[in-house]
């Protein structure tokens, strides 16, 4: 991108089973934090983009863009809901970036929110399965743990990835989350804990899977020139890329390569004029432990097939070659699906400001948000101001 988009402010709620907070409570909390952090007033915001997967199924509420802009006291500005399964937040962020780059708006807010715990677990599994191909996958009983189990089993077959290496992804992310007070799980676990946890879909066990979560996140974006009126050192978004592949696993050329991520990453690195080796910290989509391994391979941080070994050798831990998910990731921080992509951006902004809970020394950071089993991929690259 020739022109950079500045991040003025960020806000995020705690993630978890938030029984005492409503859908409205969550987005208002994150939004107020972001506005205060940006040092602006609500009247300065010209548009609002909201990532949300399925409020209609989780809380029986549609038309949430109107709901949020109303409850936030931001009428009459335009508000748009963005739905792209678990990539809803990341794609909403991309819409905000494009709105600034187009010159149509000078300051916009991007939020992500999901309230998932108001329905029973079986219902949640059914709702999440709507992000898969209904005719060819969900109809025959495949759930997302099942889909990712097929991917994991194939990765183990083709590359020798071990059950213990998958477990180490969870161990790492739980350890990182111990320093994040907003994370859903702040308790360290061991490889043995993962291997002894209940089997969900072979080879994936309960501790290989991200939790059901409530939460919200918000980020305030601004034109680069306007941003100078508010701060001397904003964080900049220097690349935004999105790509798609088949929603159905059976139509893909490979189960073990995230082709949408490969394509989006290529475009993002080109926009930023960077290479994978230039990225010093990343938040990637680890809804399942195999997902993080696929992500770091497709993003070019390690060779295809070497992701499991990289985790085992400590390359992706804090202090390693490329720290992955210092927030705890979806696995331990939590995964309120519509909020995840925006929450990832919040973490990277805090990292580049030097104000993260689990600080990494970095000038460049990346977020990677996936929809479905990999059919949507959206990537953003951030630069320290």
In a 3-state reduction of DSSP, which class is residue 372? coil
Dihedral of the alpha carbons of 5, 9, 14, 19, in degrees to the nearest 10 = -100
From the candidates 86, 105, 155, 176, which is the catalytic residue? 86
Cα–Cα distance list, 133 to 54, 121, 148, 259 (Å): 16, 20, 14, 17
Contact between 88 and 337 (Cβ < 8 Å): yes
Is 335 one of the annotated active-site residues of the chain? Answer: yes
Contact between 240 and 219 (Cβ < 8 Å): no
Q: What is d(CA 335, CA 133) in angstroms, rounded to the nearest whole number?
A: 21
Name the nearest CA neighbour of 45 among 184, 226, 168, 186.
226
> First vs last Cα of the chain: how many Å apart?
16
Q: What is d(CA 294, CA 261) in angstroms, rounded to the nearest whole number?
A: 9
Alpha helices in 15-87, H assignment, sequence order: 23-38, 55-58, 64-71
Q: Which two tokens stand for residue 212?
A: 């059901």
Q: What is d(CA 119, CA 233) in angstroms, rounded to the nearest whole number?
A: 43
Contact between 111 and 342 (Cβ < 8 Å): yes
Name the nearest CA neighbour of 361 among 247, 280, 288, 305.
280
Contact between 17 and 213 (Cβ < 8 Å): yes
Residue length of the chain: 385
Contact between 299 and 380 (Cβ < 8 Å): no
From the candidates 285, 335, 368, 380, which is the catalytic residue? 335
Contact between 289 and 208 (Cβ < 8 Å): yes
Catalytic residues: 86, 335
């Amino acid at each position: 991108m020739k022109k950079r988009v500045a991040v003025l402010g960020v806000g995020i709620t705690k993630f978890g089973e938030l029984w005492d907070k409503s859908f409205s409570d969550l987005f208002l909390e994150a939004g107020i934090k972001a506005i205060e952090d940006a040092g602006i007033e609500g009247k300065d915001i010209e548009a609002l983009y909201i990532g949300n997967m399925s409020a209609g199924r989780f809380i029986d509420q549609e038309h949430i863009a109107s709901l949020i802009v109303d409850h936030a006291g931001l009428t009459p500005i335009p508000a748009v809901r963005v739905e792209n399964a678990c990539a809803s937040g990341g794609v909403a962020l991309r819409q905000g970036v494009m709105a600034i780059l187009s010159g149509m708006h000078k300051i916009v807010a991007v939020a992500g929110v999901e309230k998932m715990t108001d329905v029973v677990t079986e219902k949640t599994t059914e709702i999440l399965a709507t992000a898969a191909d209904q005719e060819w996958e969900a109809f025959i009983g495949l759930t997302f743990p099942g889909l990712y189990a097929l991917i994991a089993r194939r990765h183990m077959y083709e590359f020798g990835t071990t059950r213990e290496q998958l477990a180490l992804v969870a161990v790492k992310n739980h350890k990182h989350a111990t320093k994040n007070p907003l994370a859903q799980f702040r308790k360290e676990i061991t490889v043995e804990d993962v291997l002894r946890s209940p089997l969900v879909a072979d080879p994936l066990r309960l501790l290989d899977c991200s939790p059901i979560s409530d939460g919200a996140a918000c980020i305030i974006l601004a034109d680069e020139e306007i941003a100078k009126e508010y701060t001397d050192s904003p964080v900049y978004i220097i690349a935004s890329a999105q790509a798609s592949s088949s929603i159905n696993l059976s139509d893909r050329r490979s189960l073990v390569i995230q082709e949408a991520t490969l394509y989006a990453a290529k475009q993002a690195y080109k926009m930023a004029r960077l290479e994978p080796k230039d990225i010093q910290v990343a938040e990637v989509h680890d809804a399942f432990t195999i997902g993080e391994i696929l992500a770091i391979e497709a993003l070019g941080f390690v060779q295809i097939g070497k992701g499991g070994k990289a985790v085992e050798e400590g390359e992706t831990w804090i202090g390693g070659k490329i720290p992955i998910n210092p927030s705890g990731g979806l696995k331990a921080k939590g995964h309120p699906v519509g909020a995840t992509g925006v929450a990832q951006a919040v973490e990277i902004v805090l990292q580049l400001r030097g104000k993260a809970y689990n600080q990494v020394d970095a000038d460049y950071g990346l977020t990677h948000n996936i929809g479905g089993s990999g059919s949507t991929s959206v990537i953003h690259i951030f630069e320290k101001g």
